Chain A
Amino acid sequence: MELTGAEIVVRCLQDEGVKHVFGYPGGAVLYIYDAIFKQDKFLHILVRHEQAAVHAADAYSRSSQRIGVALVTSGPGVTNAVTGIATAYMDSIPMVILTGQVPTHAIGLDAFQECDTVGITRPCVKHNFLVKDVRELAGTIKKAFYIAQSGRPGPVLVDIPKDVTVARCDYEYPREVSMRSYKPVAKGHAGQIKKAVQLLLTAERPMVYTGGGVILSDAADLLNRFVNLLGFPCTNTLMGLGAFQASNSKFVGMPGMHGTYEANMAMQHCDVLIAIGARFDDRVIGNPKHFATNPRKIIHIDVDPSSISKRVKVDIPIVGDVFEVLTELLSQVDASTVRPDAAKLAGWWQQIDEWRKKDCLRYEQNGGAIKPQYVVEKLWEVTGGDAFVTSDVGQHQMWAAQYYRFEKPRRWINSGGLGTMGVGLPYAMGVQMANPGADVAVITGEGSIQMCIQELSTCKQYRLTPKIINLNNRYLGMVRQWQQIDYGGRYAESYVDALPDFVKLAEAYGHVGFQIDKPADVEPALREAFGKYKDRLVFLDFITDQTENVWPMVKAGKGLTEMLLGSEDL
């Protein structure tokens, strides 16, 4: 059947099973919007800024096993979307972004709302395409969905000139994709896995270190089985939280710059480290030279060969999908009669329990100012530890990661790699569209929330009801913390003056707002938000302790065990 390019775009999305598209119209995509208008198989969510469309699509992917899709117009539509695309790229999130482009005959002539979309986005996408011929449109969109979701996932962009959306051709959606230049490896090398199993079963001080890759390949159940079977300690990175149950006694907390004392000590002092879908990020291992001073054998499972031996030399690299490799690893462990030396392992746990006694996440909530940690702990209680939690970037993000103890994967949604302030609210929109009826909380600060605050309007339009937990300390808290510790207490531009009245602001957008400034009111306010106002967006403006810091802390460039545990270490 002959269709226009615009109709083909819509049919491709339908045939791909897409149910939601986040976007914003404009000149170059008007034919596509016209075709969307005439269909009802998927819902288009109109955001208030293209950046939010991409963040929402990103969170849609993160919080479900379905892929997020964003649609924006040419020129400024694309440049506004770039932050969202780069955010998803850094965290390997599958996503398809469709962008309008000026007509093919106008490309390169500095046309109105023209930009070199493929050029601008090239360094922050897994791949991108410019479709100049309508006959290549369906095949390219199919490839985009395939590339985005296979191998190491990532955002893929398809740039579609306006004349291509008008041109006609026969439509057929390809069933399969075959590319000679792109054949991602899924299964790990059996010999390497065998070596890894031998090493693991003879380890005396083993450590399991896992990242976002476990969540992306939906291998959380396998990870829990693996750790429980061997009785090894396990840490999840910021991107990996929820992959292993935080309530399990084998969980030692998050590692890294604001990781727990016990996780960092165990990372440093183990004799066998197995890294699963994690990439030895600078925020996780600190100074790589210091990290390398303790000899240990390292096994690294990653679907992307370029992540292996990038920052840290490894002994047993295993390239493959985490799910596939863990499945094979588990079956080999099951089949083996060898088990780790129980006495040695018990000794290692004794050491870890000693480290745990530092109680590094201890804080005191007295009758004075509200402690931000207390708000997160109460949120955890009130939501039964089962909410979807998105965060922005800064101190509140670290407190959320430390004090909201995640039990399930895909519940903790944050910008780990790029560290994009402003993602929290649009992330909540994507989460809620993908998980209707679930409790969604946005843990944010008065700095971050203002970076995409306009989305309160989108939430009103689509009856989205996240609960915004604004940890308002009137400072760009993480900046202030670094300035206090490393810049002689000179708080350059980190004090946020002239804040809006967030309660009135929420009300102006048609939502509910509270301000809470006493510790005793924290829990009742949260209960009201998730109870009485379950079906409303509630903006909870918590006035918190202005100078609270995130502890422990490994300063940038320092070794993982050179931790500051509190202000007494300054």
Chain B
Amino acid sequence: MRHIISVLLENEPGALSRVVGLFSARGYNIETLTVAPTEDASLSRMTIVTVGSDDVIEQITKHLNRLIEVVKVVDLTEGDFIERELMLIKLRAVGKERDEIKRVADIFRGRIIDVTERSFVIELTGNAAKLDAFIKSVDRAAILETVRTGGSGVGRGERILKV
């Protein structure tokens, strides 16, 4: 099953590689991983999207907690949460395609943020499934580049991950 794990860790050199090294050394999957400093610059927040059985996820959270620089770990998928991912997608857009792409982008509430005679860059946020759906709904051959950030997540309401 797909899980979204949020990690608060010390914002120190090497901390990221400890997390990544743990996943590769123990054979766990990483679907996506995002990391950036929080409002407190001494802490980073990481979101890891992973797939595994309950036993594997339990081991992943335990091993993450075991890392000396990890302050807190929470499996967002254990409760209510919001997941968002940002995608920048560059599409070939000439002739009547331009209107069609604009319409699809509007449906997905995407924004065109760069326009040339031959291309658009569309900015789109949503959960992973929404971004996948957008990709499916445009002509594959029109896709020039796709850049996705990987998922970020936050618990709803009073579910707060903080030191």
CB neighbours (8 Å) of B68 from chain A are: 126-127, 147, 179, 181-182
B132 at the interface (CB under 8 A from A): no
Q: A309 vs B13: C-alpha distance in the bound complex, in angstroms?
A: 32
Partner of B69, one of A181, A304, A305, A310: A181
Q: Are A180 and B21 in contact (CB under 8 A)?
A: no
Q: Does A293 contact B (CB under 8 A)?
A: no
User: What is the CA–CA distance of A493 and B63 in the complex, to the nearest angstrom?
Assistant: 39
Chain A residue contacts of B9, Cβ below 8 A: 181
Chain B contact residue count (CB 8 A cutoff): 20
The reply to whether A310 and B66 contact each other, CB–CB distance below 8 Å, is no
A122 close to B17 (CB less than 8 A): yes
A439 CA to B63 CA in the complex, in Å? 40
| Chain B positions 21-73 with a Cβ under 8 Å from a chain A Cβ | 21, 25, 55, 58-59, 62-63, 65-66, 68-71
> Given the known A-B contacts A118-B14, A181-B71, are A306 and B66 also in contact in the complex, defined by CB atoms under 8 Å?
yes
Best-surrounded residue of B18, B68, B163 (most CB of chain A within 10 A): B68
* Majority-rule SS of B interface residues: helix
Closest Cβ–Cβ distance, residue B142 to chain A (whole Å): 42
Set A118, A123, A304: member contacting B66, Cβ < 8 A = A304
Contacts of B70 in A (CB 8 A): 181
Q: How far is the CA of A306 from the CA of B13 in the complex (A)?
A: 25
Q: What residues on A are CB-neighbors of B66 within 8 Å?
A: 304-306
B59 cross-chain contacts in A, Cβ below 8 A: 306, 310
Q: Mark A114-130, 1 if CB is under 8 A from B, else 0.
A: 00001100110011001
Min CB distance B78 to A, Å, is 17
Q: Which residues of A contact B18 (CB under 8 A)?
A: 122
Minimum CB–CB distance from A473 to chain B (whole Å) comes to 36
**Total number of A residues with any Cβ neighbor in B under 8 Å:** 17
Instruction: Give the complex CA separation of A109 and B70 in angstroms.
Output: 30
**A120 CB to nearest B CB, Å:** 11
Q: Is the CB of B71 within 8 A of A180?
A: yes
Q: A127-B68, A180-B163, A181-B69 are in contact. Are A306 and B21 (CB under 8 A)?
A: no
Task: Name the B residues within 8 Å of A179 (CB-CB).
Answer: 68
The residue from A123, A182, A305, A309 contacting B55, defined by CB atoms under 8 A apart: A309
A304-B66, A306-B63 known; A181+B10 contact, CB < 8 A: yes
B-side contacts of A306, CB under 8 Å: 59, 62-63, 65-66
A188 to B18, CA, bound (A): 28
**Shortest CB distance B73–A (Å):** 11
Q: In A143-190, which residues have CB < 8 Å from any B CB?
A: 147, 179-182
- B65 x A123 contact (CB < 8 A): no
Q: B60: nearest residue on chain A (CB-CB)?
A: A306
Residues of B within 8 A of A126 (CB): 68
Nearest chain B residue, comparing its CB with the CB of A307: B62
Question: CB-CB contacts of A99-117 with B at 8 A, as 1s and 0s?
Answer: 0000000000000000000
A145 to chain B, nearest CB (A): 14
Cβ contacts under 8 Å, A304 to chain B = 66
Given the complex, which residues of B lie within 8 Å of A119, measured CB to CB?
17
**New A-B pairs, 14, CB < 8 Å, besides A123-B25, A181-B10, A305-B66:** A119-B17, A122-B17, A122-B18, A122-B21, A126-B68, A180-B71, A181-B68, A181-B69, A181-B70, A306-B62, A306-B63, A306-B65, A309-B55, A309-B58
A/B interface sample: 28 pairs, CB < 8 A: A118-B14, A122-B14, A122-B17, A122-B18, A122-B21, A123-B21, A123-B25, A126-B68, A130-B13, A130-B14, A147-B68, A179-B68, A180-B71, A180-B163, A181-B9, A181-B10, A181-B68, A181-B70, A182-B68, A304-B66, A305-B62, A305-B65, A305-B66, A306-B59, A306-B62, A306-B63, A306-B66, A310-B59
Which residues of A are in contact with B by a Cβ distance under 8 Å? 118-119, 122-123, 126-127, 130, 147, 179-182, 304-306, 309-310
